[in-house]
């Protein structure tokens, strides 16, 4: 029975079997006297001081006492929170009336200290702060906040919760957005394709048409919701209207046929259009490439730039957005009751441009101190992979812009932490993008190719390449050759002796004439 301290004021207990327990503080004082918690009950305790606590538990179906420890962190003197709602104030009275729509995914900037909060699907936000004087400003460029009158809004944290609501108008033109994603593809196993269409504005869409085209290699299973028409591997939905800030999701379950060669590339796409004029059509389409593989790391974070020319390089003169996908799978021995994902976004990314795209299951998401994004899948009841391989998988997908201007050589790197119930986190391998100007070399010949380790110290190895490279060249970010390896013997491991720390590009010249570049970080300790 694990314990979790989620704030400086409370902790929560949950159990799958009857148990007697008590809680003591760091010097042995009884904080919670002996209590019985029945099967699948929860108990929450508030008002705890910061410190280390001991949970003394005696399972009623077992014979042994066990102890667990948890910490209630010190969030600073007078720590409390600011919270509120942002909505489209249709009648302009600064009151959230019935029928008016909350604004989801609206980023708030809190100063001083530059912290960020974000509204959830219902337009509500909250953020913990230490005592002090602050301002908060809504950054959504499609909105015109007019209540409160003073913007940014000054407020004080001194104990009670500060409540600040934002009433908004908007004259931004209609903007529809499309996203698509898919799970891992393995011969003989289920392959789930998820799509979504969203209205980013408070403008009427009129009739909306969504078209999803899936790779003809896969075998179609169930589709939800039922399409208006199906023509081979093309699915079309006709939607009467997408309401303000609303979205519609689509799921297509397929199977990768047994015997599909490893390395086969599956291509899926989605497009959305409306009866009313959509003035920004660049985000009306999205595509997904998935390589059929035999084995994989089931928990990962990947990045794809908006030009779709590379999963490793951000082309300064061609790319605008970065689409991130965090995938997870329960490889344990029992179902996970809830899943939490945290992602600390690096300083090179502009948090005010964050846009949530898709997720595999119902969830909430919030910003936490220190540029942390947290997704929480409550009551997900995610089965383990041995019981239900397809059902054990999930994902989140979001997009964000780099901080402008982007300088050649900028390295954008981060990882995600995936928590199944109260277990230690699964930490993904780093997702690494290196910014450079386009050179016309975009033949990304094999999406599964990676360099390991990355960051590297003494050597690196090429993995996943379907053919031996004829030459491997290590380049500086400005394109100068640092070291060139002639590769007549088909080597896959290359030494880095004498090369200083920094960001580099590895250019692979293939025997069929193709070429690709991948980023490599060298770290000397």
Residue 382 per-residue DSSP state: B
Sequence-distant (6+) residues with CB within 8 A of 113 are none
Instruction: Name residue, tokens 């993904």.
Output: 428
154-197: per-residue pLDDT in tens?
999 887 788 999 999 998 999 999 999 998 898 999 999 999 99
Among 39-48, 168-177, 305-314, where is mean pLDDT lowest? 39-48
**DSSP labels, 123-160:** SEEEEEE-SEEEEEEE--TT-EEEESSSSSEEEEESSS
| Spatial distance between the Cα atoms of 6 and 336, rounded to a whole number of angstroms | 18
172-295: CATH class: mainly beta
403-427: per-residue pLDDT in tens?
998 888 888 988 999 999 888 899 9
The CATH number of 297-438 is 2.60.40.740
- At residue 2, the pLDDT reads 39
Q: Do domains 3-72 and 439-522 have the same CATH topology?
A: yes
Q: Tokens at residue 12, please?
A: 């929560």
- Beta strands, E only, 51-143: 51-59, 66-72, 80-88, 107-111, 115-118, 124-129, 132-138
| Spatial distance between the Cα atoms of 106 and 166, rounded to a whole number of angstroms | 11
> Strand 162-163 and strand 80-88: pairing?
parallel
In degrees, rounded to 5, the angle at the alpha carbon of residue 99 between the alpha carbons of residues 246 and 397 is 20
Q: Where are the alpha helices (DSSP H) in 330-379?
A: none
In degrees, rounded to 5, the angle at the alpha carbon of residue 30 between the alpha carbons of residues 24 and 32 is 85
Average pLDDT rounded to a whole number, residues 72-101: 82
Q: Tokens at residue 387, please?
A: 């019981």
Report the topology of domain 3-72. Immunoglobulin-like (2.60.40)
**How sure is the predictor about 445, in pLDDT bands with cuts at 50, 70 and 90?**
very low
Sequence-distant (6+) residues with CB within 8 A of 230 are 223, 236
Q: In what order do the strands lie in the sheet with 66-72?
A: 30-37, 19-24, 51-59, 66-72
Listed by start position, the domains of the chain span 3-72, 81-148, 172-295, 297-438, 439-522
Residue 224 has pLDDT above 80, yes or no: yes
User: Closest Cα partner for 414 from 301, 514, 504, 498?
Assistant: 301
pLDDT, the chain, mean: 85
Residue 95 has pLDDT above 70, yes or no: yes
**DSSP labels, 212-267:** EE--TTSEEEEEESPPSEEETTEEEEEES---TT-EEEEEEEEEPPTTPPTTPEEE
The residue among 45 and 110 whose pLDDT is bigger is: 110
Instruction: Name residue, tokens 């595509």.
Output: 287
CA distances from 404 to 324, 410, 435, 454 (A): 18, 11, 12, 26
Residue 57 has pLDDT above 50, yes or no: yes
Instruction: Yes or no: say if 139 and 352 are a contact pair by the CB < 8 Å rule.
Output: yes
Kind and range of the H or E run holding 328: strand 322-329
Q: Tokens at residue 316, please?
A: 């300064």
User: Closest Cα partner for 235 from 251, 257, 246?
Assistant: 251
Average pLDDT rounded to a whole number, residues 268-276: 95
Instruction: Yes or no: say if 188 and 255 are a contact pair by the CB < 8 Å rule.
Output: yes
Among 305-314, 400-409, 441-450, where is mean pLDDT lowest? 441-450
| Spatial distance between the Cα atoms of 465 and 508, rounded to a whole number of angstroms | 10
CA distances from 109 to 55, 229, 304 (A): 38, 44, 26
**Other C-beta atoms within 10 Å of 256: how many?**
22
User: Closest Cα partner for 138 from 83, 86, 200?
Assistant: 86
Residue 316 per-residue DSSP state: T
458-502: per-residue pLDDT in tens?
899 888 776 778 888 898 876 678 888 877 677 788 889 888 888
Kind and range of the H or E run holding 503: strand 502-510
Of the candidate CATH numbers 2.60.40.10, 2.60.40.1270, 3.30.413.10, 3.90.70.10, the domain formed by 439-522 belongs to: 2.60.40.1270
**How sure is the predictor about 440, in pLDDT bands with cuts at 50, 70 and 90?**
low
SS3 state at 77: coil
Q: Tokens at residue 164, please?
A: 């600040």
- At residue 7, the pLDDT reads 40
- At residue 442, the pLDDT reads 44
Among 283-292, 394-403, 431-440, 469-478, where is mean pLDDT lowest? 431-440
> Chain centroid to CA 299: how far?
12
């Amino acid at each position: 029975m694990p314990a979790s301290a989620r704030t400086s004021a409370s902790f929560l207990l949950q159990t799958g079997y009857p148990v007697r327990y008590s809680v003591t503080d760091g010097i042995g004082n009884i904080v919670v006297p002996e209590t019985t918690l029945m099967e699948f009950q929860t108990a929450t305790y508030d008002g705890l001081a910061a410190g280390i606590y001991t949970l003394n538990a005696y399972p009623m179906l077992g014979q042994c006492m066990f102890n667990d420890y948890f910490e209630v962190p010190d969030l600073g003197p007078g720590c409390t929170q600011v919270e509120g709602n942002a909505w489209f104030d249709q009648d302009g009275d600064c009151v959230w009336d019935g029928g008016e729509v909350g604004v989801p995914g609206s980023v708030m900037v809190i100063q001083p200290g530059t912290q960020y909060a974000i509204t959830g699907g219902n337009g509500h936000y909250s953020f913990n702060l230490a005592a002090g004087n602050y301002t908060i400003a809504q950054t959504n460029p499609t909105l015109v906040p007019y209540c409160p009158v003073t913007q940014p809004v000054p407020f004080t944290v001194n104990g009670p919760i500060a409540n600040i609501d934002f009433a908004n108008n908007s004259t931004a033109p209609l903007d529809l957005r499309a996203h698509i994603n898919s799970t891992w593809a393995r011969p003989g196993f289920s392959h789930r394709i998820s799509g979504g269409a969203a209205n980013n504005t408070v403008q009427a869409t009129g009739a909306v048409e969504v078209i999803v085209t899936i790779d003809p290699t896969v075998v179609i299973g169930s589709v939800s919701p039922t399409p208006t028409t199906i023509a081979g591997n093309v699915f079309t939905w006709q939607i009467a209207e997408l309401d303000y800030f609303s979205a519609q999701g689509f799921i297509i379950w397929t199977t990768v046929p047994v015997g599909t060669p490893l390395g086969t590339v599956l291509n899926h796409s989605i497009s959305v259009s409306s009866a009313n004029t959509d003035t920004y059509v660049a985000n009306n389409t999205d595509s997904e490439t998935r390589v059929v593989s035999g084995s994989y790391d089931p928990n990962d974070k990947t990045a794809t730039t908006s030009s779709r020319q590379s999963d490793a390089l951000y082309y300064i003169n061609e790319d605008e957005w970065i689409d991130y996908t965090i995938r997870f799978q329960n490889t344990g021995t029992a179902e996970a009751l809830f899943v939490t994902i945290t992602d600390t976004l690096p300083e090179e990314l502009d948090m005010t441009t964050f846009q949530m795209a898709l997720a595999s299951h119902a969830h909430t998401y919030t910003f936490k101190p220190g540029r942390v994004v947290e997704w929480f899948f409550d009551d997900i009841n995610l089965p383990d992979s041995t019981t239900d391989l397809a059902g054990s998988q999930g994902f989140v997908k979001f997009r964000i812009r780099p901080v402008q201007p982007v300088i050649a050589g900028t390295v954008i790197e981060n990882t995600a932490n995936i928590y199944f119930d109260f277990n230690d986190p699964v930490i993904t391998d780093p997702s690494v993008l290196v910014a450079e100007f386009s050179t016309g070399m975009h033949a990304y010949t094999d999406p599964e190719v990676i360099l390991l380790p990355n960051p590297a110290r003494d050597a690196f190895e090429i993995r996943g390449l379907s053919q031996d490279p004829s030459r491997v060249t290590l380049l500086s970010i400005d394109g100068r050759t640092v070291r060139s390896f002639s590769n007549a013997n088909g080597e896959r491991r290359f030494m880095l002796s004498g090369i200083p720390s920094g960001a580099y590009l590895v250019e692979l010249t293939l025997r069929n004439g193709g070429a690709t570049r991948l980023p490599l970080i060298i770290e000397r300790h």
